[in-house]
């Protein structure tokens, strides 16, 4: 006993398109619902299949008066495929061009960043300066929090606050605190 298997959506779409291509005529939905079962597409699914073909621009639809007509010609499908091909080809060319520009930009950014002793020393110095900066920033934050609680933790009015003085290091200027003797 063999079970009949229903058609997939793609198979139904092909069958309905074949109706259009074979006759090269215009159809009302009712006519398509009568022709669908002859091609193996059940009547209840013809409307959905035709609508999916319309959504994908494989079948054209136009309302004339109170009737809605559907049609599709083989030449229209070929033209649509050629248009899609041209668009995809132009997208591919623009993506290739963009890729080449990005590769050039990446190479240009890598120039001057080659590993060398001088660069390693500069990076180590930068790291040390950043660590010192962060340490001083934490100390300053602690001092400021102490200011908010003046009198509660034993900070007196004669307390001197940190004053940051610029110290040149290489080509960068780093702020370091100058601590007065009374602040210690």
Question: pTM for the whole thing?
Answer: 0.45
Is the per-residue pLDDT at 152 higher than 90?
no
What is residue 1's predicted lDDT score, i.e. its pLDDT?
46
Q: How far is it, in rounded angstroms, from Cα 29 to Cα 68?
A: 7
Overall average pLDDT of the 30-39 stretch = 90
Question: Domain coordinates of the chain in residue numbers?
Answer: 9-72, 75-109, 121-146+160-178
Q: What are phi and psi of 157, to 5 degrees?
A: -70, -20
Residues 44-62: tens digit of each pLDDT: 999 999 999 898 888 889 9
Q: Which CATH number fits domain 9-72: 1.10.10.10, 3.40.50.1100, 3.30.70.980, 1.10.287.130?
A: 1.10.10.10
Residues 72-82: tens digit of each pLDDT: 888 877 887 88
């Amino acid at each position: 006993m063999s079970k009949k298997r229903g058609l997939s959506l793609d198979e139904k779409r092909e069958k309905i398109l074949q109706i259009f291509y074979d006759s090269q005529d215009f159809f009302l939905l009712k006519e398509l619902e009568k022709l669908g079962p002859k091609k193996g597409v059940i009547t209840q699914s013809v409307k959905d299949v035709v609508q999916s073909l319309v959504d994908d621009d494989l079948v054209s639809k136009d309302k004339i008066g109170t009737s809605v007509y559907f049609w599709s010609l083989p030449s229209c499908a070929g033209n649509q495929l050629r248009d899609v091909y041209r668009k995809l080809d132009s997208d591919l060319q623009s993506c290739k061009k963009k890729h080449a520009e990005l590769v050039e930009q990446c190479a240009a950014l890598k120039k001057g960043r080659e590993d060398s002793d001088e660069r390693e020393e500069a990076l180590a110095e930068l790291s040390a300066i950043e660590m010192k900066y962060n340490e001083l920033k934490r100390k300053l934050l602690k001092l400021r929090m102490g200011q908010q609680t003046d009198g509660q933790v034993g900070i007196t009015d004669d307390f001197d606050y940190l004053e940051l003085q610029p110290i040149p290091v290489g080509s960068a200027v780093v702020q370091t605190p100058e601590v007065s003797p009374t602040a210690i």
